[in-house]
């Protein structure tokens, strides 16, 4: 049993004994029922609706087909679904923009995953599960660009750097590099600008940087990764603020972390950080 479920179990048992005088077996039933599939208040009864971006990129989703379960986030989604008691056939996929997902209000999904960084500001608008990945930020460019060969943050202050709206990447340009960013609706728009040499570099998470530099951007390269700011950029499954599913989804993430499932998925789908040196101040 993971720590989160253990704490929850203790609270439930104590409450049951105090209020109703239930036996220990009754308390155990209450515990198991709390996150039992039949008791989960999902968007559609008997189904688990999961959202991702449009499009969804490698290595997060392979060939923009999350239903195939290939790619890091697609695999994580199905592992969480299994932990909650849902079969692959009971999972329904929908698409959202990044910006609409982090906006307050009711959602058409049970949880959403498209590299949402867990921040205090976002917690005011939405719920997050326990983190399923911690990623550094990196800068993608092309051979012969203004920033090709740069090794320090100071050398990047005058560069035209872009990032998707509402992302930690955007914050990193302003707060770590000290440059004025070019803002794009999504990474796809940023990639287009980079291909057309309208910007010198695009800031994204490191796994995405490996893909973009190796596949999407002609003569692409990774200038470097940004220095760690502490705990790193942690990604969490995003849920509606106050969702009844939040504790159960977090428990599922904790469980696949504890049993090694998450580590195996990470090893399979996420590339090494070799070839992405840490930029100096």
Domain residue limits, the chain: 1-34, 39-134+235-269, 137-225
Residue with tokens 């709390």: 34
- In this structure, the dihedral spanned by the alpha carbons of residues 39, 43, 48 and 49, taken in order and rounded to 10 degrees, is -160
Average pLDDT, the chain: 87
pTM: 0.68
> In this predicted model, what pLDDT tens digit does every residue of 236-280 receive, in sequence order?
999 999 999 999 999 999 999 999 999 999 888 886 666 788 999
What pLDDT sits at residue 100?
A: 95
Do the first three CATH levels of 39-134+235-269 and 137-225 match, i.e. the same topology? yes
Query: How far is residue 113's CA from residue 131's CA, in Å, rounded to a whole number?
Result: 11
Q: DSSP for 184-223?
A: ESSHHHHHHHHHTTSSSEEEEEHHHHHHIIIIISTTEEEE
H or E stretch covering 256: helix 246-258
Residue with tokens 């770590």: 176
Do you find a cis peptide bond into 59, omega within 30 degrees of 0?
yes
Cα-to-chain-centroid distance, residue 179: 25
What pLDDT sits at residue 57?
A: 86
Residue with tokens 């972390």: 257
Helix or strand or coil: residue 176?
helix
Choose the weakest-confidence range: 34-43, 71-80, 136-145, 220-229: 220-229
pLDDT of 187 higher than 90: yes
What pLDDT sits at residue 179?
A: 96
**CATH homologous superfamily for the domain 137-225:** Periplasmic binding protein-like II (3.40.190.10)
Protein fold of 39-134+235-269: D-Maltodextrin-Binding Protein; domain 2 (3.40.190)
Q: Which pLDDT band holds residue 229 (cuts at 50, 70, 90)? A: confident
What pLDDT sits at residue 120?
A: 93
What pLDDT sits at residue 42?
A: 98
CB 80 within 8 A of CB 66: no
């Amino acid at each position: 049993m993971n720590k989160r479920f253990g704490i929850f179990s203790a609270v439930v048992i104590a409450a049951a004994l105090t209020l109703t005088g239930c036996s220990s077996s009754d308390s155990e039933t209450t515990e198991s029922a709390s996150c039992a599939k039949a008791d989960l208040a999902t968007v559609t009864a008997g189904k688990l609706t999961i959202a991702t971006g449009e499009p969804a990129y490698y290595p997060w989703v392979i060939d923009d087909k999350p239903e195939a379960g290939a790619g890091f986030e697609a695999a994580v989604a199905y592992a969480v679904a299994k932990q909650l008691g849902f079969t692959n056939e009971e999972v329904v996929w929908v698409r959202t923009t990044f910006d609409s997902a982090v906006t307050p209000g009711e959602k058409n999904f049970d949880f959403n995953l498209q590299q949402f960084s867990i921040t205090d500001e976002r917690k005011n608008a939405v719920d997050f599960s326990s983190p399923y990945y911690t990623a550094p930020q990196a800068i993608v460019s092309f051979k012969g660009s203004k920033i090709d060969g740069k090794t320090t943050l100071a050398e990047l202050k005058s560069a035209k750097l872009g990032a998707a709206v509402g992302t930690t990447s955007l914050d990193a340009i302003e707060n770590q590099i000290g440059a004025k960013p070019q803002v794009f609706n999504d990474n796809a728009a940023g990639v287009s600008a980079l291909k057309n040499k309208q910007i010198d570099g695009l800031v994204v998470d490191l796994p995405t940087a490996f893909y973009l530099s190796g596949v999407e951007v002609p003569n692409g390269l990774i200038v470097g990764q940004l220095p760690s700011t502490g705990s790193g950029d942690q990604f969490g499954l995003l849920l509606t603020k106050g969702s009844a599913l939040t504790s159960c989804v977090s428990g599922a993430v904790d469980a696949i972390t504890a049993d090694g499932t998450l580590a195996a998925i990470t090893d399979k789908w996420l590339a090494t950080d070799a070839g992405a040196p840490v930029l100096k101040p």
